[in-house]
């Protein structure tokens, strides 16, 4: 499950799941949803993404910024993510397609993930939350 939360001129992305990996995947879908409806994106090409950081919170920011980088440089949008964590090393696959302006109708450009309202934690036993504000 993913959702957005309000933050002044920017927007918060939040992912929930039964593991940190699932929460990271859902946060990435929330990132896509800032730009377009994730359901409008087809899985045509898979892109590997690797990140490493000192802790899970910083890793979330690096992960989301890596997706922003791939969106900008490949001119792609992503609809599915598969994340594997080994401590604070993340290996992932992002699946998506080239941006199609008439079909995707991008609503905003995400410039990057920030440390604002940054959290990666287990709220209840077995329910993880990964969130931060993204600059739009």
Question: Once rounded to an integer, what is the mean pLDDT over residues 10-20?
Answer: 95
Q: Which of 21, 6, 3 is nearest to 120 (CA)?
A: 21
For tokens 């919170």, the residue is 57
Residue 8: CB atoms within 10 A of its CB come to 7
Residues 34/107, Cβ–Cβ less than 8 Å: yes
Q: Which of 2, 1, 25 is nearest to 13 (CA)?
A: 2
Q: What is the pLDDT of residues 56-98, one digit of tens each?
A: 999 999 999 999 999 999 999 999 999 999 999 999 999 999 9
Question: What's the CATH code of the domain at 107?
Answer: 3.55.10.10
Residue 95 in 3-state DSSP? strand
Q: What is the pLDDT of residues 21-37, one digit of tens each?
A: 999 999 999 999 999 99
**Maximum C-alpha span of the chain:** 43
Domain ranges, residue 80: 2-135
| pLDDT band (50, 70, 90) for residue 125 | confident
What's the number of domains the chain is made of?
A: 1
The region, left, alpha or beta by phi > 0 then psi within -120 to 50, assigned to residue 2 is beta
E strands, 8-126, are: 10-17, 45-52, 76-86, 89-98, 112-113, 119-124
134 vs 121: CA distance, rounded Å: 18
| pLDDT band (50, 70, 90) for residue 104 | very high
110 vs 34: CA distance, rounded Å: 8
């Amino acid at each position: 499950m993913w959702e957005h939360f309000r933050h002044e001129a920017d927007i918060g992305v939040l992912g929930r799941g039964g593991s940190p990996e699932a929460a990271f995947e859902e946060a990435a879908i929330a990132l896509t949803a800032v730009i377009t409806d994730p359901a409008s994106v087809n899985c045509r090409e898979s892109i590997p993404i690797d990140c490493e950081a000192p802790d899970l919170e910083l890793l979330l920011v690096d992960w989301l910024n890596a997706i922003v980088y791939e969106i900008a440089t490949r001119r792609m949008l992503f609809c599915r993510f598969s994340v594997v964590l080994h401590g604070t090393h993340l290996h992932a696959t992002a699946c998506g397609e080239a941006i199609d302006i008439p079909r995707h109708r991008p609503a905003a450009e995400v410039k990057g993930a920030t440390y604002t309202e940054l959290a990666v934690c287990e709220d209840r036993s077995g329910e993880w939350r990964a969130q931060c504000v993204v600059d739009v």
